[in-house]
Structure 1
């Protein structure tokens, strides 16, 4: 963990950019980063930071200890197979591509009967783009404790990290934090529309909704009390909050959220099976 990291990003899009912003100058130098992407304008932006670039996998990959696959799921198999000739015994592979199991990636990397198990699969989310992400990680047996520490440090550059034990649990992470920002955005949209319906302006409703969600989240994170206790403290018997919660509970709001997450997890498992074919 004390040696300087050398990293290759296969795919130079938004998530790779966010990770690099948290690492270059802190954990590695620009000269330690190599980016492979088919899009020349993307490579031009990376080159301005002083990193090396290539439009296709090349021998430079052999000198990079950590490979981070940050391509869209439908392109991952081709990307893995084109990089495979440059794998070294000490290469740590990290995938942040959604919907493809670590087991499948290990087979693509290692070939029939020789899975590459020095592998960490990660499920980040879009708030990582502003350094406030939440990522779930799982490692195959070939990843050492040092490999896990490296992967954790990389993802902590863009937010919180939680380790899980299996691809199935990564699917659960996908349902909670991976898809979770969309649930929050929908809730915020609903709060704002509700405020406008009740007579507030668009700007007033948006300001209050964003501040309320931000404040409530920070209070929950900093408080030693349970969420139930915090909720009860806002809820006076027979009061306004109680009237609102009666409507949400009557519509089985907690069950709806759970059902939505179940649907997301099932779809994640389906996508994993489809991409593995």
Structure 2
């Protein structure tokens, strides 16, 4: 769940000019802080495209979180409009569309989490899934990203191993339920286990989408890792999740976040 802002390279900055009494450098007022973004639901229908975006009202209470949700939605909308522009006025066989819903997952004094789920159809056989998670820590005034939570690259190996075991167990049960046998089962097992291996490699980017699962006292008892379609399973199976318990995570997370968790 990391939000990255890119900065383009421009001309080299000029050396600062020393201010003298009465100059603009001395008398200029400080810049005003940017106004908080206002989240408004969007419903737009045209012959060529459809847009539907909905936000939770509580997000307005956390301006940096609201900004992150708005930026994600606007980026998805920009992709849609770029595809529409590429039609050069021709009507698509099916309207291009963006459907995106943000929902509150957790809201406590220490942890706030919002889920983004939806899809964007830009032509082809089916829409592109939109899956993201946003975790805001009000008392620390920061978004929580996977790289911050577990900064030591080696500490992702136990998480990867735990998640892979859960997914492989679920896969085995699924193949049993489908009554696959012989070569068909073997081929499916090879194909699907390869997806799981690649999608759960011990790198923070593979676990970037997560949402807290809370204890009654407001502490985190597990992190629910969210895998979009294609990451660990075929598109038709949709989004997959695995809950990693606090007892697995506590030895691995950075010291400043340990107080957020409680095992047992």
Same fold by TM (over 0.5)? no
TM-score if structure 2 supplies the norm length?
0.23
TM-score if structure 1 supplies the norm length?
0.22
- Is the helix fraction higher in 1 or 2? 1
- Is the strand fraction higher in 1 or 2? 2
Q: Which structure has the bigger radius of gyration?
A: 2
